[in-house]
Structure 1
Amino acid sequence: MAIRRILTCDNPADLAVLKRVSTSVEGVDAPLRALMDDMLETMYAAPGIGLAAVQVGEPIRVIVMDLGDREVEGDVQDTAEDDEARRNPRFFVNPEIVWTSDELFSYEEGCLSVPEYYDAVERPARVRLRYLNRDGESVEEEAEGLYAVCIQHEMDHLEGVLFIDHLSRLKRERAMAKVKKALRDKAA
């Protein structure tokens, strides 16, 4: 496994890749599992709870996610050991949302490709999704709470959409300025 570079929205070349619509994959094989393992290691190192393949420069319809035992309320981490013990990695190949609830849910989102910026995004509270798992088996299930937020956020990436695209133009511009400043400060 290897940690890959996460593309960020402040870099024009990265942004061009992030804005691409990802393509479906033929099926789950050893090279795809190796990519998913790299993505998972990259996500844990960042740290994050979800990562789409396009965020590491691979515009294909693949997502990894690990919510551990987090709930929408009380998302507190105690120690690295606690976090590792709670790991529950999930793999989504060619995911699709087949149903969404009319009820909406607002959650303050962040993104590894939009570092150091968080804002509330309103999304359907529940969704039903269909995907292939790590073993290539077809799965259909419902998601709600943080799981529903995260899967919708990651699936947006597969369509070339960042969470800040759901915000007003003014908030989007503010987000981009904040990201550029944070990355400049980090490099200094």
Structure 2
Amino acid sequence: MSARGAGHPSGRFPGGSTGPDSGVRWTLPAMVIVLVGVVAGVVACFVMTRAADTYPLTHRQVDAHIVRVIGPPGGGRSVPAPGADVEVSWTGGDGAVHSGRTHVGPLPDLKGSVRVWADARERLDWGPPGNGTIILGSVLGGLAAASAAWSAGRLLRVGRRAWTARRAVAGWEREWKDITATGR
């Protein structure tokens, strides 16, 4: 029973609560929003895991030699990353020597080699996404989908209220025209 139906003119029960069924109206929308977020997160995880698994089909890891250190860690970046920007060279699948710039983690021995990813056209690439990236992407994707579902729900609620108010005003105008036309 609602507070108004129970005889409270304010529509509230003593103590300011809106009644025992106030949380019930949010249960189904909240469950739908959570379900949308979970499904979107699982789909994002599946897509990114699939991309990471198929990455070696179009890319390969090569041993590259450091030609020179280009700059200190984070040179030109807004947030410095540990390691250094280096220029590397490697022998491609076609037998030609290729070079490119990349960022390496902790600076390895300058006379040693580093493992880098190269695509089919012998351009350097970042490599497949790691587990942390996949997990973060899944969580953020789920949160974004849940936020979009909540926003869509709010838009629907506002639109329904506006439509109902418009229909009510149209009904009152019709009644007013009938009253003024008949003179009652």
TM over 0.5: no
Larger strand proportion of the pair: 1
TM norm structure 2: 0.30
TM-score normalised by structure 1 residue count:
0.29
Q: Flag the structure with larger Rg.
A: 2
Q: Which has the higher helix share?
A: 2
